[in-house]
Chain A
Amino acid sequence: GVTQSPTHLIKTRGQQVTLRCSSQSGHNTVSWYQQALGQGPQFIFQYYREEENGRGNFPPRFSGLQFPNDSSELNVNALELDDSALYLCASSPTAGGQDTQYFGPGTRLTVL
């Protein structure tokens, strides 16, 4: 299945953070979501075969990478208090939004 690390993370405002995701075997697409408490997942961006394949309404300080070995990263620079949330990655066998998203357990980020 989809795995994420770390499980929890505490950072201070202005710092940078890297979150990691390992996709389900055979999936070439990974999407990242931010889920604030009590809200639905908000789409950050999607990567397909190591290229960005769509982006939501998030500033450029949110960036990502996808590697050939089905792993990916979400990087957030200049952390703000509002970045505190659960970050979910999801892999799928096809690009776009036409197929099942398999979610990881998430990384809980707290910004102080």
Chain B
Amino acid sequence: GENVEQHPSTLSVQEGDSAVIKCTYSDSASNYFPWYKQELGKRPQLIIDIRSNVGEKKDQRIAVTLNKTAKHFSLHITETQPEDSAVYFCAATDKLIFGTGTRLQVFP
């Protein structure tokens, strides 16, 4: 069946460094790829999304790239800050499938 793989499962970076999280998906019909941030004990919140007719999208320190041919997309966070520490989930939502999450820790 369709699935979404997400790597790495944990990521530790120094404040100010960049962080990259990668996802691959299997359903070629997927057209919408959101990224959610979930802080401990809180609900997932959308931080950025991209649709299949676009290869890259930026929002301040956050960017997402999409390669539809290879069926993978990535989240890039630049100039990381301690408040970026959370679990990040990708999704390929034609079947509402989420990745398994990446726990990002940003050390001051």
Contacts and interface: CB of A to CB of B under 8 A. Distances in A.
A56 B96 contact: yes
Contacts, number: 56
Q: Name the interface size band of chain B.
A: 20 to 34
A97 interface: yes
B44 A103 contact: yes
Interface stretch (A37-45, A63-71, A72-80): A37-45
Q: Name the interface size band of chain A.
A: 20 to 34
Contacts of B95: 43, 54, 97
Interface of B: 1, 6, 31-32, 34, 36, 42-46, 49, 89, 91, 93-101
Given A40-B99, A46-B96, A100 B89 contact: no
Given A39-B100, A42-B98, A98 B93 contact: yes
B25 to A, nearest CB: 12
